[in-house]
Structure 1
Amino acid sequence: MKSKGILSILTFSEKRKDILFLLEEKPCTLSDIKEYFDVSSPEIFPRLKEMENYNLIKKADKHYQITPIGLAMIRHFRPFLDILSTIEKNETFWKEHMLDDIPQSMIDNLMELKNSELVSDSIENIYESHKTFTENISKSSFLKGVSSIFIPTYPDFVVGMAERNVPTSLILTEKVFSKVRDEHREKLEYYLNASQTELFVVDDIKVAFVVTDYFFSLSLFFSNGSYDPRSDLVGYDTSAIKWGNDLFEHYRKLSRRVTSI
């Protein structure tokens, strides 16, 4: 019964949770806490007393401070809040798209995408997000990408990266690789012979993304198996880029290297 009481302390009141986050940073007096939350003593004092009773905080020399138990609780609770926030922020995106080909270990770390934003196009202009994509690429010093779809403009785009000696590592599905080899053979040969390029081929997967030193952009397939060309999840912070790099490494280990055709 005790654990249920502590759980309710953290989940049923935003204020109590936020008090723990505040005291995690530094001890505070009652006046400090009242000023921070802009509340009166009758509003905040019962919450503080309740948290004291559960050994989450304690009072010493007129200062409230977080206890070792409270610190342990909040450090385990924060990742849960982060992943909850990540999912709720773009709930429709995660609900309507296939996640089958993203390993569970990556789903477990979905909170690393909490600051990422959904870039969506109208049905009349479904390639507007690709404009954002190319603008971001121009600010990047390397490119890693996984593609399970073929976009006609991409062969020229990738060759342009190779011509500028931008380190580029691509993973294509067997179907996309076959199409590029059959329809853009000269461009493929140029890419393979460039000095800072890599090409890998993987079995059919339902995911497409790019990651650079500047940004990460993720595209998914709808639950019915069709590709969604209108929505990209884009992140610019260190954690999103790390998540993208980890996902790329996952697929690279499943791929075969292509050096010639």
Structure 2
Amino acid sequence: MSSSLCDTIWLSEKRKNLLLLLMEGPRDIEQIKTSLNVTAKAMMPQIKILKKQELILQKGDVYELSEIGKLVVGNMLPLLNTLEVIEENKEYWASRDTSVIPRDMFMRLGELGECMVMEPDLNHLFDLPREFTENLAKSGCILSSLSYYHPLYPSLYSKLAKSEAEVELVITESVFERLKDDSPEELRSLLNSEKTVVGVCAEGLNIPTIAVTDRFMYLCLFDRQGKYDHRKVMSFDASALHWGKELFMHYRKSFREVKDF
């Protein structure tokens, strides 16, 4: 009785890993052994099964994906990436209000790649994460949206405005009013910078913080009860930067640029 393609792929870690490896390009048995840390004796039966299912082809001593194999593995990757993102921080994603992420983008959550959830201890509950501030200072292009006022934000972003970085900052009306009242000098630095654009959203931002730079993606979501609990997600993967920029642009649509106050 022949196995189904699903059984062939998912019931063997060796077969699955080989398919993913061959997605990167053809490999001979020595390269397969080294990359997957397996023996030829353990791998050859799995190769035989994959060849029988016409997922891989053998050309001399080299193995590669067939056209069907490329199709199958190409469709496997988004699911595997999504599972990896969820499994690493299952409780976090289960407790978030993800309705604020456009549906098509939420279905591509796997693009966040190797992301980390940062949760401060009680002694640093109101500090900005060091990973965030240090990498922000090293970034050359910054897109950021803020729906709440943090006392450290005015000085942080005004310093960026005085640097060589290109900054686009989208804030809510309430944050703008708070900046005018509590941090007028920092706000003026932002507005006077030739490389900084400040926009105010006509509609409320439903996400506490989005920051996307040429180095990282940083995201903060409310929990399912609409509460802010200081936990943030950060990723340095190129796919996460692309995903984060798309999310920023989604919320940027209804903003008006501010040049003075």
Q: Find the counterpart in structure 2 of residue 107 from structure 1.
A: 106
Q: Find the counterpart in structure 1 of residue 196 from structure 2.
A: 197
Q: Find the counterpart in structure 2 of residue 225 from structure 1.
A: 226
Q: Find the counterpart in structure 2 of residue 150 from structure 1.
A: 149
Q: Find the aligned partners of 2:71 and 2:22 in 1 and give their Cα distance.
A: 13
Q: Residue 187 of structure 1: CA displacement?
A: 3.5
Q: Find the aligned partners of 1:21 and 1:180 in 2 and give their Cα distance.
A: 50
Q: Find the counterpart in structure 2 of residue 235 from structure 1.
A: 235
Q: Does 1:250 align with 2:254?
A: no
1:61-100 Cα distance to aligned partner (Å, 9 max, x none): 4654432211221122122211221221222221111112
Q: Find the aligned partners of 1:78 and 1:88 in 2 and give their Cα distance.
A: 15
CA 1:48–1:217: 2 relative to 1, 3 Å: same
Q: Residue 123 of structure 1: CA displacement?
A: 2.4
Find the residue that maps to 1:256 and give its secondary structure: strand
Letter in 1 for 2:103: Q
Q: Find the aligned partners of 2:162 and 2:60 in 1 and give their Cα distance.
A: 67
Find the residue that maps to 2:165 and give its secondary structure: coil
Q: Find the counterpart in structure 2 of residue 75 from structure 1.
A: 74
- Asked whether the equivalents of residues 165 and 195 of structure 1 are also in contact (C-alpha less than 8 Å), the reply is no
- When normalised by structure 1's length, the TM-score is 0.85
Q: Residue 195 of structure 1: CA displacement?
A: 2.0
Q: Find the aligned partners of 1:84 and 1:106 in 2 and give their Cα distance.
A: 15
**Structure 1, unaligned stretches of length 5 or more?**
none
CA 1:67–1:151: 2 relative to 1, 3 Å: same
CA 1:210–1:85: 2 relative to 1, 3 Å: same
Q: Find the counterpart in structure 1 of residue 260 from structure 2.
A: 260
Q: Find the counterpart in structure 1 of residue 89 from structure 2.
A: 90
Listed as ranges, the matches of 1:1-261 within 5 Å are: 5-24=4-23, 25-29=25-29, 36-39=36-39, 41=41, 43-59=42-58, 61=60, 64-164=63-163, 166-202=165-201, 203-207=203-207, 208-229=209-230, 231-261=231-261
Q: Residue 183 of structure 1: CA displacement?
A: 3.2
Letter in 2 for 1:180: L
Q: Find the aligned partners of 2:63 and 2:139 in 1 and give their Cα distance.
A: 47
Q: Residue 45 of structure 1: CA displacement?
A: 4.2
Find the residue that maps to 1:162 and give its secondary structure: helix
Q: Find the aligned partners of 1:65 and 1:132 in 2 and give their Cα distance.
A: 40
Q: Find the aligned partners of 1:97 and 1:60 in 2 and give their Cα distance.
A: 49
Q: Find the aligned partners of 1:65 and 1:228 in 2 and give their Cα distance.
A: 48
Find the residue that maps to 2:129 and give its secondary structure: helix
**Structure 2, unaligned stretches of length 5 or more?**
none
Letter in 2 for 1:220: L
CA 1:28–1:148: 2 relative to 1, 3 Å: same
More displaced 10-residue stretch of structure 1: 19-28 or 88-97:
19-28
1:9-32 Cα distance to aligned partner (Å, 9 max, x none): 112221111122334422535x76
Q: Residue 186 of structure 1: CA displacement?
A: 4.4
- When normalised by structure 2's length, the TM-score is 0.85
Find the residue that maps to 1:124 and give its secondary structure: helix
- Asked whether the equivalents of residues 120 and 129 of structure 1 are also in contact (C-alpha less than 8 Å), the reply is no
Letter in 1 for 2:78: P
Q: Find the aligned partners of 1:186 and 1:89 in 2 and give their Cα distance.
A: 42
CA 1:204–1:49: 2 relative to 1, 3 Å: same
Q: Residue 172 of structure 1: CA displacement?
A: 0.8
Aligned residues: 257
Q: Residue 34 of structure 1: CA displacement?
A: 5.8
Q: Residue 251 of structure 1: CA displacement?
A: 1.5
Letter in 1 for 2:83: L
More displaced 10-residue stretch of structure 1: 49-58 or 67-76:
49-58
Q: Find the aligned partners of 2:49 and 2:160 in 1 and give their Cα distance.
A: 60
Identity of aligned residues (%): 30
Letter in 1 for 2:217: F
